[in-house]
Amino acid sequence: MSAGSQKRTRLERVAALELPPNFADRFLGSLQRGEVWLRIGLCLLAAIFLWIVTSAWAPPFSFRSGYVSSRDIMARVEFKKFDPDATHDARRRAENQVTFIYSQDPSAVVQLRGALKNKLVEISNAATLDALKSDVWKEFTPPSMPNVEPLSQAEQATDYEQFHDSVADKDKQDKVFKAIDSAFAPLEQKGVIDKLAQGHDEGNQNEIYVHPAGSPLFPQAVSVSDILLAGAASKLFDRLKEELGSPELAQRLFYWIKPKLAAPLVPTLTLDVEATKAAQDDASKKVPDQYKLYAKDSLLKKANRPLVHDDLDLLKLEYDTYVNSLSTGEEVTRSLAFFGMLLAMYTLGGFYILYRAPAIYQDLWRFSSMLCMFVGAVTLATMTKDDAWRAESVPIMLFGMTVALVYNQELALLLTAALVLVVAVIVLDEDLSSYITLMSAAVSSILLLGHIRSRSKLIYVGICSAIIAMLTEIGDSTLAGQPLKQTLLVDVPPVGWWAVAAGFLMTGLLPFIEKSFGVLTDISLLEIGDVSHPLLQELVRRAPGTYNHSINVAAIGEAAADAIGARGLLVRVGAYFHDIGKMLKPQYFTENQGQGSPSLHETLLPAMSRLIIVAHVKDGADLARQHHLPPPIIQFIEQHHGTTLVEYFFRRAQQNETDATRGEVEEHSYRYPGPKPQTKEGGVLMLADAAESASRTLVDPAPARLESLVHDLAMSRLLDGQFDDCGLTLREVHDVEESLVKSLTAVYHGRVRYPDQRTA
């Protein structure tokens, strides 16, 4: 086929043009990766956990003590409230209706019955009245009536003979004794008492339960009229008449019995306190709780009146009943709304993290820890939202400050706004004023955080946030129509003291946050950068020239970092340790060699010298790990040379080769292993290290020469791609150059020669 026939037409070239994939194609493509689905699964798991913790299928209880509603609060459903007073009255009535239980001890009645029989036997043994003791017959004789002539001796003798005749022989005695036993039997069984041991308004007044002493299991019901002394005596007399068949004989016997029924015989019944109390308790327990019924749309609280504790109890009861009455459809609707809100927040936060903080997305541990902190903050806010605490602002502030410390303020503001939205809408169900108050406390703590150079800084942040939040609460509550007195005395104080408490808590949690996330605050940097650190002391002893070089790099590097808004303190501390690997072979580095001393590299091949020079990076990182220096400091050690060329020994290697083999020296074998600087601070340290080292070679370090030197170093590293990964802009590189020139000029400034001063 000819060349002309192979040439594509313009239409074919246009059709063959492939454009980069659009957003939809990129999105669909990302869904085919397992790591994406893993993170989606973690987000879904966090959402389900939040749904359970916050009970998102039901509306939250939104009332607090002191709250003043602008409208009457009406019942949404019919419900009932436990009425303790009515329950107490009902149980008291039940206790009062209990039949009291008495214990019967018949021994006194039995003795009385036996004594009566003995008297009758004594009478039967005396045929005449004269043969009987005079006081015995008196007990069977009725008392004399006033204004009535007493019986004569003969009449008394006649009465005695008739009475004696009824018990004269054995058969008659047995008949009378049997009648006496029958008459006394109910009295022995039921007992007798002069009055009830219970009060007139206690228990059943018509009936009691009686059980034999020591046998409480089977009490019998007894009419009160049968056991009271008057009634018991009357019924005893009636039974005697019925059993004896002789009213006269019964009358004589009753004359003897009646005075003896009184004390000490009475009472034979004693109240069984334990059994009666048990019966009362049992009757009380059987009474169900009494409730007050509230109909739907009934008034629970009038408008413009503050809620007190009893009001909250009533509203909470109505709320619980309302939640239990929600249909499945209503719960599903609220749940879908909750997941929809979370989806929107996930989308917003996800895009921010993906494009502005990709390190969080790429590191599964960081991504998971972020979700856990969010879920933990919502959980703590849910647990501390109760009216007794009102501490939901504490976990929100702690979350915001932690994210700001670990990552950055922008991400902290975004995620805190999402967190406050969840807490205000799902957990508290309150109006915009609560959202504003919580946001003011959280945002102020994040923005005031800055660099933490002292532990008191966090306390001051809490105090300032408390002032801002309290002022915001006053304004919000006033606009919402809440009474000023209520706002100042009830609503504002918790906002203030919990914000201050958050500052103190963050102070205590700071070391754990630093260790868990590998974060270096200024406090930690000041501790690590102490010149008494064992590594720095060993560096002074073994390689004083390197130590002096590190101190100079730290000074000029800190100023350069501050000039572009980077963390100057981090650069300073990193510079202290960046060359600690040189202490293992200090004599092979120029700054540690005496003036005029020959270099040890003169006797070595360039390749061997290159190995020694490059090894100080790895040796320094190993030393740092052994002494537990934090990862950011180790990164400075590994990155301060990047992948730059060990140019001096590379040139020597080229010079040592013949012209025919000069091209065989590979440049990449004379480069540091890297990596390149990954942060702006790492890029600044690279430039400061190179500028400080190179400036020592200048015979006349004039400002112009220093400026030219620093610019050449910066351009060579820029063109070599050393700043590709650290985010330094050209403007920032220029500002770093200016700062380094200014610092080096100050170091190498000219001095006035004194008249008697001689050159060394």
Tell me the DSSP string of 659-673: TTTGGGS-GGGGB--
Kindly report which listed range (174-188, 392-406, 425-439) carries the lowest average pLDDT score.
425-439
Contact (Cβ atoms closer than 8 angstroms) between residue 209 and residue 101 = yes
pLDDT digits (tens, 9 = 90+) for 590-633: 888 776 677 788 888 888 988 999 999 999 999 999 999 999 99
Q: Which residues contact 205 (CB under 8 A, 6 or more apart)?
A: 196, 224
3-state secondary structure of 68: strand
pLDDT in the model for residue 2: 47
- Parse the chain into domains and list their residue ranges: 3-29+31-45, 46-58+328-519, 73-83+290-324, 101-143+151-284, 530-747
3-state secondary structure of 309: helix
Contact (Cβ atoms closer than 8 angstroms) between residue 562 and residue 554 = no
pLDDT in the model for residue 657: 64
Tell me the DSSP string of 128-151: STTTS-HHHHHHTSPPPPTTSPPP
The arithmetic mean of pLDDT across residues 706-710, rounded, is 93
Contact (Cβ atoms closer than 8 angstroms) between residue 551 and residue 522 = no
Percent of the chain whose pLDDT exceeds 90: 50
pLDDT digits (tens, 9 = 90+) for 407-449: 989 999 999 999 999 998 888 876 677 888 999 999 999 999 8
94: pLDDT strictly greater than 50: yes
Strand order in the sheet with 269-271: 220-223, 207-212, 101-104, 269-271
pLDDT in the model for residue 64: 84
Kindly report which listed range (82-96, 414-428, 511-525) carries the lowest average pLDDT score.
511-525
> Considering the chain, what is the average pLDDT of its residues?
87
Peptide bond connecting 264 to the previous residue in cis, omega within 30 degrees of 0: yes
pLDDT in the model for residue 759: 47
Contact (Cβ atoms closer than 8 angstroms) between residue 680 and residue 728 = yes
pLDDT digits (tens, 9 = 90+) for 260-316: 887 667 688 999 999 999 999 999 999 999 999 999 999 999 998 888 889 999 999
pLDDT in the model for residue 719: 93
3-state secondary structure of 293: strand
pLDDT in the model for residue 205: 87
Query: How far apart are alpha carbons 176 and 256 in whole angstroms?
Result: 15
Q: Which amino acid is at 596?
A: G
Dig out the tokens for 682 from the structure: 């790492």
Tell me the DSSP string of 418-432: HHHHHIIIIII---H
CATH of domain 530-747: 1.10.3210
pLDDT in the model for residue 720: 92
More confident residue, 675 or 1: 675
Q: Which residues contact 542 (CB under 8 A, 6 or more apart)?
A: 583, 586
Query: How far apart are alpha carbons 556 and 575 in whole angstroms?
Result: 10
What CA dihedral angle connects 529, 530, 533 and 536, to 10 degrees?
Answer: 70
pLDDT in the model for residue 148: 59
CATH topology of domain 46-58+328-519: Arp2/3 complex 21 kDa subunit ARPC3 (1.10.1760)
Binning pLDDT at 50, 70 and 90, where does residue 3 land? very low
3-state secondary structure of 82: strand
H or E segment and range at residue 435: helix 432-449
Binning pLDDT at 50, 70 and 90, where does residue 83 land? very high
402: pLDDT strictly greater than 90: yes
Q: Which amino acid is at 728?
A: L
pLDDT digits (tens, 9 = 90+) for 710-760: 999 999 999 999 999 998 999 999 999 999 999 999 888 655 555 555 543
Residue 551, CA distances (Å) to 220, 572, 573, 595, 701 in order: 105, 8, 9, 20, 19
Query: ∠742-747-748 over CA atoms, to 5°?
Result: 100
pLDDT digits (tens, 9 = 90+) for 182-239: 999 998 899 898 888 888 888 888 899 999 988 888 889 999 988 898 888 889 899 9
Residues facing residue 73 across a β-bridge: 301
566: pLDDT strictly greater than 80: yes
Query: How far apart are alpha carbons 572 and 685 in whole angstroms?
Result: 9
- Please tell me the total number of residues recorded for the chain in this structure: 760
pLDDT digits (tens, 9 = 90+) for 658-682: 444 555 778 888 899 989 999 999 9
Dig out the tokens for 426 from the structure: 């799902």
Q: How many CA atoms lie within 13 A of 453 on its CB side?
A: 5
Contact (Cβ atoms closer than 8 angstroms) between residue 268 and residue 88 = no
487: pLDDT strictly greater than 80: no
More confident residue, 389 or 257: 257
List, in sequence order, every beta strand (DSSP E) within 375-522.
none
Query: What percent of the chain is helix, strand and coil (3-state, nearest 5)?
Result: 65, 5, 30
Q: Please tell me the pTM assigned to this model.
A: 0.72
Q: What are phi and psi of 696, to 5 degrees?
A: -70, -20
Contact (Cβ atoms closer than 8 angstroms) between residue 100 and residue 203 = yes
First-to-last CA distance in the chain?
A: 85
